[in-house]
Structure 1
Amino acid sequence: YPLRARATAVRPLGDGWDEVEIPYGHGLDALLVEFGPDVVAVEPAELRADVIDRLRAVAKG
């Protein structure tokens, strides 16, 4: 729900996945990381890289 509340568009992709368009802003990477494997950051590339870096840091402990 928190992501859908921020969404400017939602498109069903099938197999239980939806594409949710959210305005990019400060702290979005931290918010997305909270959802773990239930969220995939697609773009912009900077956001995707930040999310991956945060997830790797969590995985390392």
Structure 2
Amino acid sequence: MAPVGERLWRVPVTDSGTPVAYYTKGFGRLRDVVKAPGRNALWVTTDKAGKGADRVLQVELG
């Protein structure tokens, strides 16, 4: 089991489908998720992935 905050879940909003975990290894803790301005995407910030390894990930939606 991964420590808390080390995965991003895609959860269906309908009755069918199964939740799927993303970014489960090597990204450290996922700190914040926000909608990217003017884009159909999310920005995810990380920390504790290792010295100099913190980053901003862009997740395309749709």
Same fold (TM over 0.5): no
Q: TM-score, normalised by structure 1?
A: 0.31
- Structure (1 or 2) with the greater helix fraction: 1
Larger radius of gyration: 2
Q: TM-score, normalised by structure 2?
A: 0.31
